[in-house]
Amino acid sequence: MSDPAPDPAAPPAAFQRHDHGRCVASARASVEAACAERGLRLTPARARVLEILLDSHEALGAYDVLERLRAGGHAAQPPVAYRALDFLVANGFAHRIEKLNAFVACAHPDEGAETAHAPAFMICRGCRRVAETSAGPAAASVADAARDLGFEVERTVVEIEGVCPDCQARPSE
């Protein structure tokens, strides 16, 4: 590795190397705060699943999560994982990556759950890591076009499949 652009002052960490311990801790704190504020119960199972998702920036399938739960001594069945994931997704603490049938922790858990921050996901097919960015005005314009056709928009999914900088640099690419 020739140390590719260590860390410009870019605010939202993505594929670039970062202090993952901090990244996890701050996300966890945000979720805890949001739960307290909104009267949501971050139960042990949910907290554990959140931690599992936060531990990597990879998208994890429900059964990957389940496996890790079990590795932690929790004799869980599939619904346990799905229920925790549903909770996290419903409240904006995690996102479902449709293309992968998998889940990632949200990069901005403090932003509104209902307040629809329109995310877009970059999915690396090399390492399965997923970076979240804002679809912003682009998503809005597509949504507007849909509304012009009389379609009532509820949610939009934007997923970009490709290869992340690290995997481009790697031999196997």
| Binding site listing | 124, 127, 164, 167
Give the contacts of 6 (CB within 8 A, at least 6 positions apart): 16, 17
| Residues whose CB falls within 8 Å of the CB of residue 28, separated by 6 or more in sequence, listed in order | 50, 51, 54
Q: Which does 95 bind (CB under 5 to 8 A by kind): a copy of itself, DNA, none?
A: none
Q: How far apart are the first and last CA of the chain?
A: 14
Least distance in Å: CB of 96 to a copy of itself?
Answer: 9
| Radius of gyration of the chain measured on its C-alpha atoms | 17
Q: How far is the CB of 95 from a copy of itself (least distance, A)?
A: 13
Binding of a copy of itself by 107 (CB under 8 A)? no
Query: What is the pattern of x (binds a copy of itself, CB under 8 A) and - over residues 3-42?
Result: -xx--------xx---------------------------
Q: By the 8 A CB rule, do 118 and 134 touch?
A: yes
Question: Binding site for Zn(2+): what residues are annotated?
Answer: 124, 127, 164, 167
